[in-house]
Amino acid sequence: MIKKHVFLLLCLVVNNLGFSQRVNTLGLSKFSQISIITSGPGEVLYEKFGHTAIRVKDPVLQLDLLYNYGIFDFDDPNFYVNFTKGYMKYKLARYPFHLSLKSAQQDKRWVKEQILNLTQQQRNEFFQFLETNVLPENASYFYDPFFDNCATRPRDIIQKVTSDNLVFKDDFVTKKQSLRQLMNNEINPNTWGSLGINIALGSKLDKIATPSEYLYLPDYVFEALKASRIIKGEKEEALVQKTNILLDFKEKESKSDALSPFLIILLFSLLGLFITYKDIKNSKRTKWLDFTLFFITGVLGLLIVFLWFFTNHSTAPNNFNFLWAFAPNVIIAFILLKKEPPIWVYKYCLVLLFFLIIIPFVWLTKVQLYTYPMIPLFVFLGIRYWYLQKTLKR
């Protein structure tokens, strides 16, 4: 991670040197190239989806630059606060292409280049657009992982530059999937990162994605460009003039965590089921278990409420995880520490049991997909709530 931070800092420093200002007036030569660079997935969570960037190369002007929309804006003093609230500020950075390739080689990530079939005028429009956007006053933008990121920005620029001459093909979509399904294809569901994302984000992710929306993922940008065409004169030609494999590493497989969510949740649920069995057998109630269960699900429920109503995350609203992570549980957790809780608590447990019964219908109808490591917890919650409503009713 230290290496990556140093690399990003170097990128930002180089980006501010203004070494290509002279090109703004000269323009790119007829030998110039605009390429879309696609990198394979890396090791850490934010690298699992791969990466898309733009390369501008001109041997006459001795330019070989990478324009990267995936840089965190560390200059923002409120970066982490804004990130939590959904105002995730990223920025466009420009730096020599060889620095990017060197970093990918060290990380053993494959890199492919697609040289776009653009006219000299279109290449210059593309380049001027990038040069305008890389200026300090224009470089920052509010990042959205699904609708405005390092992959969607190049897509949008291509559409802007080519206008009506672009013939977008959706042949690359062989199976209709939602944004969540596309995301879960990239991250192993049995990881804490995947679990956290799936709990935090709501049913907007479960709408079937349009072909254009697939392009929030770099792999699909690559496939869409390969399939698409461009009109030049009266002829329809391939949008990609040539594809080069710059680094040919084996794609990193997304593996489950060693201490995986499924393992930890399963062990906790089995322990809870065993204690519940003992409680039934001995006609008692283990208060610390109820406190732990209600407190944890309540805190997660508060997080869902916060993300849903008090942040700008576009995919946080309408989150049906509230059916098991119910915010009022935080208060009930302390009430259940009493030897004899109020009798109305049993009715509260009935409501929670009803919520759990709804989950399979929400899941099967694909209103919102849940992640499989949660299944043992759902079973345990159902049995414990059933036991509590029976016990507390007395």
User: What pLDDT digit, counting tens, does each position of 299-351 carry?
Assistant: 999 999 999 999 888 999 999 999 999 999 999 999 999 989 999 999 999 99
Total domains present in the chain: 2
Q: Is residue 188 part of a domain?
A: no
> Is residue 17 predicted with pLDDT exceeding 60?
no
Helices (H), ranges, the chain: 2-15, 23-26, 79-85, 97-106, 120-133, 152-162, 179-186, 192-200, 218-227, 261-282, 287-309, 329-335, 345-364, 375-392
Q: Is residue 166 part of a domain?
A: yes
Q: Is residue 181 part of a domain?
A: no
Confidence at 26, pLDDT banded by 50, 70, 90: low
Indicate left, alpha or beta for 56 from its phi (over 0: left) and psi (-120 to 50: alpha).
beta
Residue type, 161: V
> Is residue 178 predicted with pLDDT exceeding 50?
yes
Same domain, 232 and 266: no
pLDDT reported for residue 3: 42
Final residue before a domain boundary, out of 247, 270, 295: 247
Q: Structural domain of residue 25, as residue ranges?
A: 2-173+211-247
Q: Is residue 179 part of a domain?
A: no
The encoded tokens of residue 270 equal 């089995």
Same domain, 386 and 270: yes
Mean pLDDT, rounded, for 259-268: 97
pLDDT reported for residue 77: 67
Q: Is residue 329 part of a domain?
A: yes
Q: Is residue 180 part of a domain?
A: no
Give the Cα separation of 20 and 24 in Å (integer): 8
Same domain, 153 and 274: no
Largest CA distance in the chain: 87
Higher pLDDT, 284 or 78: 284
Mean pLDDT, rounded, for 85-109: 91
Final residue before a domain boundary, out of 221, 247, 273: 247
> Is residue 374 predicted with pLDDT exceeding 90?
yes
Q: Which of 26-30, 88-92, 177-181 is the most confident on average?
A: 177-181
Confidence at 243, pLDDT banded by 50, 70, 90: very high
Q: Which of 11-15, 141-145, 383-387 is the most confident on average?
A: 383-387
Same domain, 236 and 266: no
Q: Is residue 322 part of a domain?
A: yes
> Is residue 217 predicted with pLDDT exceeding 50?
yes
Same domain, 53 and 125: yes
Same domain, 266 and 237: no
Same domain, 148 and 8: yes
pLDDT reported for residue 75: 63
Mean pLDDT, rounded, for 97-106: 94
Edge-to-edge order in the sheet of strand 166-167: 166-167, 229-232, 235-238
Q: Is residue 370 part of a domain?
A: yes
Same domain, 28 and 133: yes
